[in-house]
Structure 1
Amino acid sequence: MEAQKMFFDKSDWVPNNQTLPVIVYREIFICDDGCEEFARLFTSHGWEGVWRDGVFDYQHYHAGAHEVLGIGRGTAKLLIGGPTGKVLELHAGDCLALPAGTGHQNLGASSDFQVVGAYPPSQHPDIQTSAATAELLKKIAEVALPETDPVQGASGPLFEAWHLGDKQETDPGFASAGKIG
């Protein structure tokens, strides 16, 4: 499994997260239908509110929750980080961990595309489609860090980057896309 972290500055009206990077996990599962595997994996690491669906075709972010998205089936091009963000081509078996405030949008997907999503305990995804107010920015900054990495549990790329700080200089096994935005 390969993991990459990406930082995004504010993009037009999308605040993104100024502290935490997006984590992109590649090829967690090599399969055509990883929906059940992702659901079991996220649940086994304490993430809740598991759902299966697609990704909205409009730019949005969540102020009250971090979110993990596992690509269970198909392929998609997702715009991450707001209107001036980065387009990621994702395939079944890939996964994204989005910190609160991070914009995301489906730009196009295969007909069989399905995502499995989940959230850390007691976090609820409020869908935001307009500029963040001072109150929403405060809410984003105060969203609790998850106690576990949704993919690897007590350790892993999310845990290392979000709890231990930026590891790109010291951990050669952790690829970084650098600052984007």
Structure 2
Amino acid sequence: MSEAAPQVLSFDDDGSFPNSRFPVLIYCEPSAALSATAEAMEAHFRSNDWVPLWRDSVFDYHHYHSTAHETLGVIAGEATLQMGGPKGQYVHVARGDIIVIPAGVAHRRVATSGGFKLVGAYPLGQEDWDVMRGLPADRPAADKRIAGLALPTCDPVTGPDGALLTLWR
């Protein structure tokens, strides 16, 4: 697959949500072949050492994961998501787009249309993801789990030489 340049979004700790020193990466329609079917997207993620675990939507409340980084591949419809918590940024995503979310970054679904659906995938070894809602009791244990997480070995979209490996180092 050819190198696709992602949109890069960064979010600081807001007191409730740790967010991350690593940026969120949004690939806008990196490949028509990749988004042809859910199975094609899942196979592509697997080829880059990301394990697809579900097909569904995004929770409609702010949340983050402290035990896994996450990739969301849009397989149908479109949506507005909010990244970074209540003071974060709204982003529009549509079929074929792929969002790579580092552990700790808050995200939620704001609005959808067209039967919005995603494939959710996680780096090998991080298939047991949790859901943190930004409660005071979540931290500092969640911060410690995030700090101990291994970085992915491949960018889920562009592979072992992809943007993630440059931007997340």
TM-score clears 0.5: yes
Corresponding residue number in structure 2 for 1:117: 120
Corresponding residue number in structure 2 for 1:179: none
Q: Aligned runs of 1:1-150 on 2, under 5 Å?
A: 1-17=4-20, 19-30=21-32, 34-123=37-126, 124-131=128-135, 132-150=138-156
d(CA) in 2 for partners of 1:80 and 1:33? 26
Alignment-mate amino acid for residue 99 of structure 2: L
Q: Which blocks of at least 5 consecutive residues in structure 1 are unaligned?
A: 164-181
**Paired residue total:** 162
How much identity, in percent, do the aligned residues show? 39
Alpha-carbon displacement from aligned partner over 1:9-56 (angstroms, at most 9, x marks no partner): 123511111x21111111123387542221111011111143111111
Q: What is the root-mean-square deviation in Å for CA atoms of aligned residues?
A: 1.6
Q: TM-score, normalised by structure 1?
A: 0.84
d(CA) in 2 for partners of 1:61 and 1:144? 17
d(CA) in 2 for partners of 1:12 and 1:82? 10
Alpha-carbon displacement from aligned partner over 1:56-88 (angstroms, at most 9, x marks no partner): 111110001000001111100000111110000
Alignment-mate amino acid for residue 28 of structure 1: P
d(CA) in 2 for partners of 1:105 and 1:66? 15
Q: Which stretch shows the higher mean deviation, 1-10 or 27-36?
A: 27-36
Q: Secondary structure at the match of 2:141?
A: helix
Contact 2:19–2:105 (CA<8 Å) still a contact in 1? yes
d(CA) in 2 for partners of 1:33 and 1:94? 12
